[in-house]
Amino acid sequence: MRRSLLIIVLLMATTFSAVADKGMWLPSLISSRVKDMKSKGFKLSAEDIYSINKASLKDAVVLFDGGCTGEIVSEKGLLLTNHHCGYDAIQALSSVEHDYLTNGFWAMSHSEELPCANLKVHILVRMEEVTDRIAAGETREQIIAKAEAEGVGFKATVESMYYGNQAYLFIYREFSDVRLVGTPPSAIGKFGADNDNWIWPRHTGDFSVFRIYANQNNEPAAYSPDNRPYTPARHFEISTDGVKEGDFTMIYGFPGNTQEYITSDAVRYVAEVSDPTKIALRDKRLDIIGSAQATSPKIRLQYAAKHASIANAWKKWQGEVLGINRLGTLSKKLAYEERFCRENPSKSYILDSLAAAYERNIEGYYNYELFNETLRGIELQQVVSIARSPRLSDAQRAAAIDLFYKDFVMDVDRALAVAMLSEYEAKASFISDELKALFERHGGASNYAEWLYDNTKLGNIEGFNAADIDADPMSEFVAAIEPIAKRVKPYTYRNLSNIPDIEQWYRPYVKALMEWDKRRAFFPDANLTLRVAYGKVAGYEYADGEYHLPQTTLEGIMEKDNPEIYDYNIPQSLRDVYAAKDYGRWGVMLNGKYTVPVCFIATNHTTGGNSGSPVLNGRGELIGINFDRTWLSTMSDIEFDETLCRNIICDIRYVLFVIDKVGGAEWLIDEIDL
Ligand code: ARG
Ligand code: GLU
């Protein structure tokens, strides 16, 4: 009896003393974590991570293209990010004659670097809390205007933390002259594609290389041939020493969206309604697109990017539901809420109000999600908006229409429309009188969709050019769903919990939690602002008795290599390098083999937006580029579990190996501090 009691006490002591590798911390407040970080292998100071008085690591991290992260690795503004983050820019620069997606691209001098229209990167100048200024009556707009007047190319945002309990000002330099320096072919940068997406073991060389340019004064400026490579205040040094199980790792980037503090009602909605509904709808869309792709190489290419983006979240949601169920997140939340009410009886009304707010808003949000996943997925309606958009010049309109039809197949869209209109008819409660009338006139959603695609003249570009758009049945469809678009508009938020009518109750709730739950390490949910997360390189038990090692190598690429399967057909140059074992300085002995490291996993708490983020060792040196999480991890947006959750990182040594041995761009290696 006493022995078991002692064991329990000891167990509790260890669980309480070991701080979990959970959390995405604001860099300006990182000093509160430094003690824990040091105990895990961090060798620098809080000032090295973020400082407003001297150059710090934050000066080398960029928000890339408004949704990814990148890192500066030379004093000439050389930038690394993921291949999937540079994908749009690479595709836009590609043509049939210069297909950089398929063949890769390597500039061999500055003059060969390719300017990317519409690609911006942001570098944080500083962040500061402005909760008091707002309380004193200043508006967000006033705060932003003042901040942007401080310097050339300054862009500012005010973001709320903890559901509006705090507000922070972020001031960035916005650079718009960004040029493509190099990219591996998709057979490396997207190796394994959708099959391997969210999967470990992984062998994707998911990186691309850009450069930031600035004017003669090193300030942000629009593209000009006179611009020069930007000299950053700080760039990352690179460590090629390699990683091993247990090593400290830190990630510095722009995570997009987490929901750490949501209540049981929201978890139930995600796991039991939202995710399963969206997964089932996407099953149907992916089936339709996938079987069309299987019939023709042309359609496979036309729908590659669309398929990839539909499949990405589809696969993520499946992992999320499994994870939430495995961890018992819902019952844990219920127990936590019960304890909160028991210990804070005077505040239990907050949870009642939250529950009532969900009650009021769930139907609207569900219809908003349904609308997005079904009706919005019918592609041909886009040509009506392009035709009518008042913001486009004639040349822009013609270009947009060309681009649309280049990757459009009428039969695929017809099948999507039949399926998605039927789904909407069956599941939605927001339905317009106009759409209902169309369904009735044609004998139901499915018949209506067939009729629509039989009768529209917009199926190809010739038809489009000859058609009277306003008289076309596609315009009637667009008009019939317009009232639904209006009705779901008030629910247009990233998460159910961010609808203002719900969020107003999270503000007192999270405040009360922070006052009450003194043992919990509170971090603000991710909101695409700069964060630090830290942990260690670690394998994990994937299934009973099945341990996954934390590092993969070139051997695994060669095992998957298959000229017959598009996603696993590596470039011949890589086969040649492998056959000759010509690894140069990137070769290492690993698991008894002379090879090249490719990817590794760690316990860093990450989410979408962390793609491209620098992964650093304890000395702040770059050891890899983050690009994914494992299948068992994706519930970490709601509950992070250190035993299972792993982020996936492209080993910097593989990046350098590909630049050098596949790209032959040695001049870039010479530019970098190894
Ligand atoms: N899963 C990664 C992320 O969420 C990579 C996505 C890009 N790759 C793909 N095959 N769709 O963004
Ligand atoms: N691939 C994701 C991104 O584009 C990162 C993976 C994740 O969600 O963790 O940001």
Three-class SS state of 47 = helix
CB distance 197 to ligand 1 below 6 Å:
yes
**What is the spatial distance between Cα 58 and Cα 61, in angstroms, rounded to a whole number?**
5
For the chain, give the mean pLDDT.
95
CB distance 628 to ligand 1 below 6 Å:
yes
Report the catalytic residues.
84, 206, 611
Cβ 609 vs Cβ 528: under 8 Å:
yes
pLDDT at residue number 123 = 98
% of the chain surpassing 70 pLDDT: 97
Task: Show the CA angle centred on residue 3, arms to residues 2 and 9, nearest 5°.
Answer: 85
145-166: per-residue pLDDT in tens?
Answer: 999 999 999 999 999 999 999 9
State yes or no: pLDDT of 285 exceeds 60: yes
Q: Kindly report the protein residue whose alpha carbon is nearest to atom 5 of ligand 1.
A: 628
Q: Report which secondary-structure segment, H or E, holds 250.
A: strand 248-253
Cβ 557 vs Cβ 596: under 8 Å:
no
CB distance 83 to ligand 1 below 6 Å:
no
Residues with CB under 6 A from ligand 2: 68, 606-611, 627-629
Question: What average pLDDT score do residues 347-357 get?
Answer: 98
Q: Which of 197, 204, 627, 631 to mutate to test the pocket of ligand 1 (most atoms within 8 A of CB)?
A: 197
State yes or no: pLDDT of 15 exceeds 50: no
604 closest CA partner among 565, 655, 648 = 648
Residue 4: Cβ-neighbour burial (10 angstroms; 0-12, 13-18, 19+): exposed
Question: What average pLDDT score do residues 269-282 get?
Answer: 98
State yes or no: pLDDT of 96 exceeds 90: no
**What is the spatial distance between Cα 499 and Cα 172, in angstroms, rounded to a whole number?**
27
State yes or no: pLDDT of 185 exceeds 70: yes
State yes or no: pLDDT of 54 exceeds 90: yes
pLDDT at residue number 571 = 96
Question: Would you place residue 7 in the very low, low, confident or very high pLDDT band (cuts 50, 70, 90)?
Answer: low
Q: In what order do the strands lie in the sheet with 248-253?
A: 531-536, 248-253, 614-616, 622-629, 647-651, 597-602, 551-553
**What is the spatial distance between Cα 574 and Cα 654, in angstroms, rounded to a whole number?**
12
Question: Would you place residue 386 in the very low, low, confident or very high pLDDT band (cuts 50, 70, 90)?
Answer: very high
Q: Kindly report the protein residue whose alpha carbon is nearest to atom 3 of ligand 1.
A: 628
Question: What average pLDDT score do residues 72-89 get?
Answer: 97
197 closest CA partner among 83, 321, 94, 92 = 83
Q: How far is the CA of 609 from the centre of ligand 1 (A)?
A: 11
State yes or no: pLDDT of 650 exceeds 80: yes
State yes or no: pLDDT of 625 exceeds 50: yes
472-496: per-residue pLDDT in tens?
Answer: 999 999 999 999 999 999 999 999 9
364 compared with 99, residue with greater pLDDT: 364
Three-class SS state of 386 = helix
CB distance 312 to ligand 1 below 6 Å:
yes
Q: Report which secondary-structure segment, H or E, holds 437.
A: helix 433-442
158 closest CA partner among 148, 150, 168, 171 = 168
Q: How far is the CA of 208 from the centre of ligand 1 (A)?
A: 14
441: left (phi over 0), alpha (psi -120 to 50) or beta: alpha
pLDDT at residue number 531 = 98
299-330: per-residue pLDDT in tens?
Answer: 988 898 899 899 999 999 999 999 999 999 99
Question: Would you place residue 281 in the very low, low, confident or very high pLDDT band (cuts 50, 70, 90)?
Answer: very high
Closest ligand to Cα 68: 2
State yes or no: pLDDT of 1 exceeds 50: no
Q: Which of 312, 613, 650 to mutate to test the pocket of ligand 1 (most atoms within 8 A of CB)?
A: 312
110-128: per-residue pLDDT in tens?
Answer: 999 999 999 999 999 999 9
State yes or no: pLDDT of 197 exceeds 80: yes
The position carrying tokens 């067939």 is 450
CB distance 194 to ligand 1 below 6 Å:
yes
Q: Kindly report the protein residue whose alpha carbon is nearest to atom 9 of ligand 2.
A: 607
pLDDT at residue number 286 = 98
User: In the chain, what's the furthest Cα-to-Cα distance?
Assistant: 88
Closest ligand to Cα 625: 2
Q: How far is the CA of 648 from the centre of ligand 2 (A)?
A: 9
531-587: per-residue pLDDT in tens?
Answer: 999 999 999 999 999 999 999 999 999 999 999 998 899 999 999 999 999 999 999
258 closest CA partner among 40, 34, 533 = 533
Backbone angles phi, psi at 129, to 5 degrees: -75, 135
Question: What average pLDDT score do residues 20-31 get?
Answer: 96
652 closest CA partner among 593, 611, 599 = 599
> Helix 329-343 and helix 500-516: axis angle, to 10°?
70
Question: What average pLDDT score do residues 427-449 get?
Answer: 98
Q: How far is CA 199 from CA 286, 307, 315, 627, in A?
A: 19, 17, 10, 11
**What is the spatial distance between Cα 620 and Cα 622, in angstroms, rounded to a whole number?**
7
pLDDT at residue number 17 = 46
235-257: per-residue pLDDT in tens?
Answer: 999 999 999 999 999 999 999 99
Q: Kindly report the protein residue whose alpha carbon is nearest to atom 6 of ligand 1.
A: 312
